[in-house]
Amino acid sequence: MLVILAGLIIGLAILVWSADRFVDGSIALSHHFRIPPIVIGIVIIGFGTSAPELFISGMAAVDGNGGLALGNALGSNIANTLLILGVTAIITPLVVIKRTVSFDFPVLLLATIALWLVLKDGQLDHTDGILLLVVLIIALAALSYVAMRTASLSALEIPAYTQAKAIAWTLFSLFCLLVGSKILVISAVDMAEYFNIPDLVIGLSIIAIGTSLPELAASVNAARKGHSELAIGNVVGSNLFNSMAVVGIPAILQTYPVADEVLYRDYPAVLLSMLVLFLMSLFALRSRGIYRVGGVILLLGFIAFQTLLYIETSGT
């Protein structure tokens, strides 16, 4: 058991460290290639903070643990929305910009509906994966186009890396992501077998929380620097990547079944948490932010979902 716990801790530590380095390297590299800051913010940071989920799910699917892959993607969306933004709002008020409510959320909602369409038949295959990636590309193009017309991320910090250093950090951190995700998948599967817990539940809880740590770091860091409007945008982008790429790419690699619990419990939880955040954001346009009370509500929602998981698991 100690070996399993050590594997979980080491795997998570490698993932969190390498995800942070991957984001820095990718931002610097994109800056050298003169990619607009707003596109870096939406695409690079969105992909970078979702890299742990992507690598974990890919490894899990290849190893035949489809439940872990899907649970990681959906659980990370729930953690991002309820845990990450809940904690951030408790620390400092979250500023909501009009574009997020009027455009970003509707795009995410449409993508979430597309996810339901591929989940409801009870199986994910390469066709479903390709469809999700096409939706992701269209969504990112739309978000980038609208963002470039309405705003710029002047607050985005560009690491002072040379082009060579940016390439080196990006490639090295990518390798570390592979190593960390492999260690974490092996440890998570061993834990599921040791406690006789479905790999779906492990993905929804321990792995989802662990792989959401980069989003927590990015959101809290942005809020502390007075740019809390980036926190919600970061979560919207990360959830979009999770729903499309983190579910889609493993499906291309390996066909796997969708458990009944995903359809009646986990997907509805993802949708409900997103709608709650959307309603809070609508209200925040008038009140000028999501305050501590809103953060507590989000955090309580996350605790309620994890409690439900525990009750259902302990009852089986």
> Which whole number is the average pLDDT over 17-26?
77
Q: Is residue 61 part of a domain?
A: yes
Domain with 117 in it? 37-153+196-314
Most confident range (mean pLDDT) of 1-15, 79-93, 155-169, 185-199 is 79-93
**For residue 313, how many other CB atoms are within 10 A of its CB?**
17
Direct distance between the N- and C-terminal alpha carbons of the chain, in angstroms, rounded to an integer? 22
On whether residue 4 sits in a domain, the answer given is no
Which segment, 46-60, 67-81, 177-191, 278-292, is predicted with the most confidence on average? 67-81
With contact defined as beta carbons under 8 Å apart, do 179 and 55 qualify? no
Look at residue 151 in the predicted model and tell me its pLDDT: 55
Q: Which of 126, 263, 275, 136 is nearest to 200 (CA)?
A: 263
Phi, psi of 226 (to 5 degrees): 85, 15
**174 found inside a domain:** no
| 95 band by pLDDT with thresholds 50, 70 and 90 | confident
Q: Is the pLDDT of residue 125 over 70?
A: yes
Residues linked to residue 257 through DSSP beta bridges, in sequence order = 123
Task: Please indicate, yes or no, if residue 12 is contained in any of the structural domains.
Answer: no
pLDDT at residue 165 is higher than 70:
yes
Binning pLDDT at 50, 70 and 90, where does residue 36 land?
low
Q: What is the mean pLDDT of the chain?
A: 83
Split at pLDDT 50, 70, 90, the class of 32 is: confident
Within-domain flag for 23: no
Domain tally, the chain: 1
Quick one: average pLDDT of 5-18?
Answer: 82
- We report the CATH number of the domain holding residue 107 as 1.20.1420.30
Considering the domain boundaries, does residue 179 fall inside one? no
- What is the Cβ-side half-sphere exposure of residue 54, based on CA atoms within 13 angstroms? 22
Q: Given the DSSP bridges, would you call strands 256-257 and 123-124 parallel, antiparallel or unpaired?
A: antiparallel
The answer to whether residue 175 is domain-embedded is no
- Tokens, residue 10: 């080491």
